Structure 1
Amino acid sequence: MKAVYLFLITITTACFFIGCNSKTTSSISMDRQQKYSRLAIVCAPTGEANPSYSPMILKEVQSRIFPLKFLEKVECLPDVSIDTTSTPPVVLLDDFSDYDAVVALVYSYGSGHVCLDCYMTNVMTGEQIWYYKFDAPDPSIKKRLCSQGLFLPAIIKKDFYGL
């Protein structure tokens, strides 16, 4: 029995120091779940990046959307334009009334690095409310971008919603 307690204390201590939990407090998490329960996810290249990767990335995001099933609505919108010349990028969607926030995925690559910047913006105010960056050295651009898309829903759930 003493060994079990020692094991549990060790795991708890490790989680405390490593940081198993999200940095988002429960009150912030609840507030965000209420304010941003309807998400749109869009994707576009920046610079010289190949625009044909956008639908592939969104397809991967959509295939793993289940971590966000607690939200009222989450949609990947492949045919939406994004002005990537500003930070955060401006999503050029005519009607935002169905969404509380939009996640703009902006990708680039060069010198062996593949980057996917994720900007979440409040659609009512235009204010950037969350940012996450995937940055990995990888010569396989398409494979890395699709892989980053697969992980995005889980990262939104943990980093933004704190769940």
Structure 2
Amino acid sequence: MTGMNAPLDPTPRPAVNGGKLWAGGGATAAVAALIAIAGILLGRGLFDIDVLAPKGQGTWGDASTGWYALGAAIAALVATGVVHALILTTPRPMRFFGWVVGLSTVVAMLAPFVTDSSLGARLYTAGLNLVLGVAIGSLISGVARSATILIPPRQAPRPYPQQYR
């Protein structure tokens, strides 16, 4: 467009409703912690797999259950911070976020295989990490989409009509 009414920047810019985004991030953190606890209880109680603690520790295991749940919650909050920064600074932020979450999930799935745990425990923990990664990624993506608004491009100020000059 040409003339005095042409937009200064033709692309809309994103803005984030921070309260909505971080409330969703907090809710996702709670869900992730509960998935971790339920997954550990399922593995230990139903399948009798050593998930994060030896069998002698019982179904609830030791403090590692709480730490694992806390780690899952922190991962959800970190994901919220990452998506917030990406929305404000990058083009196609959700595409980058998908890559960050996907690769982080792969790393979390590979991490159990550097331990000396049984193969069953390593496979189960990798599967639990996959479920956590998918849950965190999908929930935070949905929250980010609903918390993002596009601000229309600014218009150049209109000149005063000739009669008012």
**In which range does the TM-score fall when normalised by the shorter chain?**
under 0.3
Larger Rg: 2
Structure whose residues are more often strand by fraction: 1
TM-score (norm. length: structure 1): 0.25
Structure whose residues are more often helix by fraction: 2
